[in-house]
């Protein structure tokens, strides 16, 4: 099925939940943050926001529950709680096998809603950062997912036209961003690649 990637010049991976199995830790950090700041915690909804920058998630929490939380303060708490969990990120094997198979053959980028310092830390820990042709984080764009800017910027950084890129993503919001960027999207469901039916 990897052969279908021959049609593309650039491959863009989301980070959390797609390339790196870090979503459980992020969800737990949000649960703790909700407890600290006194807002409801909805695990399924929170997971659906994977790829959205932390401060933007705080804005959505305010909108969803009619609150007036300080979004930067909530974001800082969430990052602090994630750090306190002291979890060691690890690669999602099925996605990483695709990543490895493309090294030296295609341009490869990561487009994530995480801030740059966090993304660089995680990707360094799992040993892939030195293999990337581009890394686009929440610090590099003015609009996060589902806006296409993250993926368009990644394509530009790789020197590849958007229509020649494919994105690996694990959330609806991430897929919306990829489609809006004019790119194809292959979904990851709990560590399993959902290859297009036509490739089987």
What tokens were used for 188? 């990851």
- Whole-angstrom Cα distance, residue 185 to residue 195? 10
Angle at the Cα of 131 from the Cα atoms of 130 and 135, rounded to 5 degrees: 80
The CB density around residue 12, as the number of other CB atoms within 10 Å, is 30
| Residue 14 is a catalytic residue | yes
**Cβ proximity of 80 and 32 under 8 Å:** no
What tokens were used for 64? 């969803």
Of all helices (H) and strands (E), which one includes residue 110? strand 107-111
Q: Is 12 left (phi over 0), alpha (psi -120 to 50) or beta?
A: beta
Which is catalytic among the residues 14, 16, 21, 170?
A: 14
What tokens were used for 115? 């801030």
Radius of gyration in angstroms for the set of CA atoms belonging to the chain, rounded to a whole number: 16
- Provide the annotated active-site residues: 14
């Amino acid at each position: 099925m990897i052969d279908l990637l021959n049609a593309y010049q650039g491959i863009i991976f989301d980070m959390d939940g797609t390339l790196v199995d870090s979503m459980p830790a992020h969800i737990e950090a949000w649960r703790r943050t909700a407890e600290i700041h006194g807002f409801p915690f909805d695990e399924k909804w929170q997971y659906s926001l994977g790829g959205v920058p932390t401060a933007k998630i705080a804005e959505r929490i305010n909108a969803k529950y009619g609150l007036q939380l300080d979004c930067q303060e909530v974001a800082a708490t969430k990052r602090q709680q994630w750090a306190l969990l002291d979890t060691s990120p690890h690669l999602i094997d099925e996605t990483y096998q695709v990543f490895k198979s493309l090294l030296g053959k295609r341009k490869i980028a990561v487009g994530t809603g995480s801030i740059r310092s966090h993304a660089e830390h995680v990707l360094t820990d799992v040993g892939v950062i030195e293999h990337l042709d581009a890394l686009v984080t929440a610090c590099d764009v003015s609009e996060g997912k589902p806006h296409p800017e993250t993926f368009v910027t990644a394509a530009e950084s790789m020197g590849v036209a958007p229509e020649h890129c494919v994105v690996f993503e694990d959330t609806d919001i991430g897929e919306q961003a990829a489609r809006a960027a004019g790119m194809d999207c292959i979904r990851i469901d709990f560590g399993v690649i959902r290859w297009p039916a036509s490739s089987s």
